[in-house]
Structure 1
Amino acid sequence: MNQEIVWTLKTLILPPGILVIIGLLGFILARRFIGKLLLLITLAALYLFSTPYLSKQLMGSLEIVAALTDAQIQSSKAQAIVVLGAGRREAAPEYGGADTVNSLHLERLRYAAWLSKKSRLPLITSGGTPRSNGPSEATMARDVLEKEFGATVLFAEEQSRTTRDQALILKDLLEKRGIRKILLVTHAWHMLRSLDVFEAAGIEVTPAPTAFAHTRSSNDTYFDWLPTAKAFYDSYFALHEHLGRVWYRLLE
């Protein structure tokens, strides 16, 4: 399927897009019972997705791979660290109008640089140019790692447009360099989907999740039921990951 169509469908299916559609239908049919029900569903979903309680439950179902310990890092048989792209900021004025990595991408790069220093393993950046004419995400990531973090980047994979692409393309590139096992760096909530496709591609992976969105605590308070922008943001990414895993299974 065309990548632009996929992006459009994703925007419409995930909140807030789907909530806007349901709300508009409810407004149009407001004089009927179904219209009132749709408006109620819209408001209820908007509230629930905005609560820290629900966002933590959604993230908790994804963030089940624990962070690496020092012992695991030192005993790993990995030969390189792969860090996945996460997006860009286009035409950043503070960088002379050049494209640069976004905040999500930078979180992954910071941990990858720290992990490389601790393990003494080289880095591999991955990510193409989805919906952009600028430099690839992998190229921008390599520049940040080398010029700002002083890390060593073995190579940059610049053709992929999705996580699934990254696994399939990296498979051949890793084999050509005799790399059989990697440490895989991505967000904790993105790790399960990444493992799905990397393991399906036949790549031996030790997951190295970073930037956990939730903490495992049973001490819920009434603050967890107060809506926040941060909770809605986390709910969006959690739903995006669950939808992505279902989509990849349909492609198999």
Structure 2
Amino acid sequence: MFDALLLPPGGPLLLTLLGLLICRWRPRAARWLIGTGVLFGYLASISLSSAVLERGLDLPALRTPAELSGSGAQAIVVLAGGLKTRQREYGGTTINDLTFGRLRFAARLQRASGLPLLVSGGYRDHDEEPSEAAAMATCLREDFGVEVRWLEDRSRDTHGNATESARILLPLGIRRILLVSHAAHLPRARAAFIRAGFDVVPAPTLAFSSGNGELDLSDWLPNARTAVVNWYLLHELLGQWLYRWRDGA
């Protein structure tokens, strides 16, 4: 609820609506709110903002499975990104596109390294089965031919991914891990796993920007895909701030 009101499109719409509501009594404040809402909505939907937000997140560099397999890690941990419900072709609930992208890279990484896999994600749609972790294990086994060693299906957020994975792996003497998630999610996830006691080697996948550093007219034009990317990047930036405030870091 909090991020829905703060992040676009909710945040810009809320500012604009407040401006319209008070325009009769506070015209100057109303103009400021409406202008800020429109500007926020515009900036949240252009590619130039994506580049700025990614710099603020300090994303880890992308590396190949061959490069990561020599890291000395003892296991691979893959973080869930959500579920999709009522998918008839898959018999009901299955993983969403975010999770699938992470699993695809994790499968390649497992084949290159031979390391055991832990899948982490306890969300269940309306508390019904399967959990994210169970759906992830099914996808890895049936679609990629990769078996999962451990299922962590109690967590509900990134902090929980870290603490619940620690309950499973640290007693087994597994401390150094390859942590697989989207590049934009890994700075926050890595910090959470380090606080939980792990030695983390980031294994990022699916960075959003091309990183060529060249600007053209299209970078200033709003588009729907960029709005989705910027929402995700803003969500991660807000998550980093909240985690630092909560943990006193």
**Taking structure 2 as the reference length, what is the TM-score of the superposition?**
0.93
The question of 1:107 aligning with 2:101 is answered yes
Q: Provide the C-alpha distance between the structure 1 equivalents of 2:233 and 2:160, rounded to a whole number of angstroms.
A: 21
Q: Provide the C-alpha distance between the structure 2 equivalents of 1:94 and 1:113, rounded to a whole number of angstroms.
A: 23
The question of 1:24 aligning with 2:50 is answered no
Amino acid in structure 2 at the alignment position of 1:119:
S
The question of 1:121 aligning with 2:115 is answered yes
Please list, as runs of the form range in 1=range in 2, the aligned pairs for 1:4-23 lying within 5 A after superposition: 8-23=1-16
Match of 1:74 among 49, 69, 72: 69
Residues 170-220 of structure 1: per-residue CA shift (max 9 Å, x gap): 112102322121100000000100011111111011100000001222210
Please list, as runs of the form range in 1=range in 2, the aligned pairs for 1:102-181 lying within 5 A after superposition: 102-129=96-123, 132-134=126-128, 135-181=130-176
Q: Which moved more, 1:176-185 or 1:79-88?
A: 176-185
Q: Which moved more, 1:235-244 or 1:23-32?
A: 23-32
Amino acid in structure 1 at the alignment position of 2:109:
L
Cα RMSD (Å) of the superposition? 1.5
Match of 2:183 among 162, 179, 188: 188
Per the TM alignment, residue 102 of structure 1 is displaced from its structure 2 partner at its CA by: 0.3
The answer as to whether partners of 2:65 and 2:108 remain within 8 angstroms in 1 is no
- Give 5+ residue unaligned stretches, structure 2: none
- Give 5+ residue unaligned stretches, structure 1: 1-7
Per the TM alignment, residue 39 of structure 1 is displaced from its structure 2 partner at its CA by: 1.1
SS of structure 1 residue aligned to 2:184: helix
Per the TM alignment, residue 70 of structure 1 is displaced from its structure 2 partner at its CA by: 5.2
Amino acid in structure 1 at the alignment position of 2:50:
S
Amino acid in structure 1 at the alignment position of 2:97:
S
Residues 103-156 of structure 1: per-residue CA shift (max 9 Å, x gap): 001000000001111111121100002563231100100000011100021011
Q: Which moved more, 1:214-223 or 1:187-196?
A: 214-223
Q: Which moved more, 1:122-131 or 1:218-227?
A: 122-131
2:230 corresponding residue in structure 1: 235
Per the TM alignment, residue 75 of structure 1 is displaced from its structure 2 partner at its CA by: 1.6
Amino acid in structure 2 at the alignment position of 1:24:
L
Q: Percent identity?
A: 38
Q: Provide the C-alpha distance between the structure 2 equivalents of 1:207 and 1:162, rounded to a whole number of angstroms.
A: 18
Q: Which moved more, 1:205-214 or 1:21-30?
A: 21-30
Amino acid in structure 2 at the alignment position of 1:83:
V
1:93 corresponding residue in structure 2: 88
1:4 corresponding residue in structure 2: none
The question of 1:245 aligning with 2:240 is answered yes
SS of structure 2 residue aligned to 1:75: coil
